[in-house]
Structure 1
Amino acid sequence: MRARNLAVVLATIHRSGPHTRAALAERTGLTKTTVSSLVADLLEAGVVTESGAVRGGERGRPGVAVSLSGHRVAAMGLEINIDYLAACVVDLTRTVRLRRTRPADNRNSAPARILAELRDLVKETTAEAESAGLRVIGAALAVPGTVEGGVLRSAPHLGWRDVRVSGLVDVPFALDNEANLAALGELWFGSGANDFLYVSGEIGVGAGLVVEGDLFRGTFGLAGELGHVVVVPDGPDCRCGGRGCLEAYAGQDALLGELTSVRELVARLESGDPGAAQAVERAGHALGVALTSAVHLLDPGRIVLGGIFAPLFRWLAEPVSEELRARLGPMRGTPPALVVSGTGADAAVLGAAGLIIQRIIAEPAQLLGM
Structure 2
Amino acid sequence: MPFRRYGQDVTGGEGAVRALRTGGATPARQAQLREHNLGIVLGEILHSPGPISRADISGRTGLTRTTVSALVDQLLQAGMVAELPVVRSRTAGRPAVPLIPATGTIAAVGLEVNVDYLGVRVLDLAGEVIAERVVPGDHRRREPAEVLGALADLFAATVYPLSKREIPLAGACVALPGLIDSGTGPLRIAPNLHWSGVDVVALLAGQPALHDVPIRIANEATLGAQAENAALRGADVQSFLYVSGEIGIGGAIVLDRRLWAGSRGWGGEIGHTTVDPTGPECGCGSTGCLEMFAGKDALMSAAGLDRDLPVDALVAAATAGRKAATRAIEDAGRALGIALSGALNLLDVDTVVLGGLYAPLTDLLVPAVQEQLSRRVLAHPFAPVTIRPAVVTDHAALTGAARSVLDEVLADPSTWISRAG
Aligned pair partner of 2:71 in 31, 38, 44: 38
Residue 312 of structure 1: aligned partner: 361
Residue matched to 1:158 = 193
Question: What SS does the corresponding residue of 2:360 show, helix, strand or coil?
Answer: coil
User: Which of 9, 12, 37 is the equivalent residue of 2:41?
Assistant: 9
Q: How does 1:191-270 map to 2 (within 5 A)?
A: 192=235, 193-257=237-301, 259=306, 260-261=308-309, 262-270=311-319
- Deviation track 1:106-151 (CA, whole Å, cap 9, x = no partner) reads 1111111111111111112213444566433222111001111412
- The Cα of 1:358 is off from its aligned counterpart by 2.0
Range moving further from structure 2, 84-93 or 330-339: 330-339
Contact residue 104 and residue 167 of structure 2 kept, 8 A: yes
Q: Distance in 2 between matches of 1:368 and 1:4?
A: 14
Q: State which of 148, 152, 159 in structure 2 corresponds to 1:119.
A: 152
The alpha-carbon distance between structure 1 residues 141 and 62, as it changes in their structure 2 partners (threshold 3 A), is: same
Q: Tell me the residue number matched to 1:300.
A: 349
Alignment pair present for 1:186 and 2:235: no
Q: Is the 8 A contact 1:84 1:106 kept in 2?
A: yes
| Counterpart secondary structure, 2:160 | helix
- Alpha-carbon distance change, 126 to 233 in structure 1, aligned in 2, over 3 angstroms: same
| Residue pair 2:350, 2:383 contacting (<8 A) in 1 also | no
Matched-pair contact (CA < 8 Å) for 1:76–1:139:
yes
Structure 1 residues without counterparts, runs of 5 or longer: none
The answer to whether structure 1 residue 326 and structure 2 residue 375 are counterparts is yes
Listed as ranges, the matches of 1:95-174 within 5 Å are 95-131=128-164, 134-149=167-182, 150-151=184-185, 152-166=187-201, 167=205, 169=210, 170-174=212-216
Matches of 1:280 and 1:240 in 2, distance apart? 23
> Does the 8 A contact of 1:89 with 1:129 survive in 2?
no
Q: What is the Cα deviation at residue 368 of structure 1? A: 3.1
CA separation in 1, counterparts of 2:150 and 2:380? 52
- Is 1:64 matched up with 2:97? yes
Equivalent residue, structure 2, for 1:287: 336
Partner residue, 2:392: 343
The percent of aligned pairs where both chains have the same amino acid is 42
Query: Secondary structure at the residue paired with 1:199?
Result: strand
Structure with the larger strand share: 1
AA at the equivalent of 2:337: G
RMSD value, Cα? 2.6
The separation in 1 between residues aligned to 2:165 and 2:361, in whole angstroms, is: 36
Verify the 8 A CA contact 1:83 1:104 in the aligned structure 2: yes
Distance 1:328 1:31, change over 3 A: closer
**Secondary structure in 2 aligned to 1:235?**
coil
Q: CA deviation at 1:211?
A: 0.9
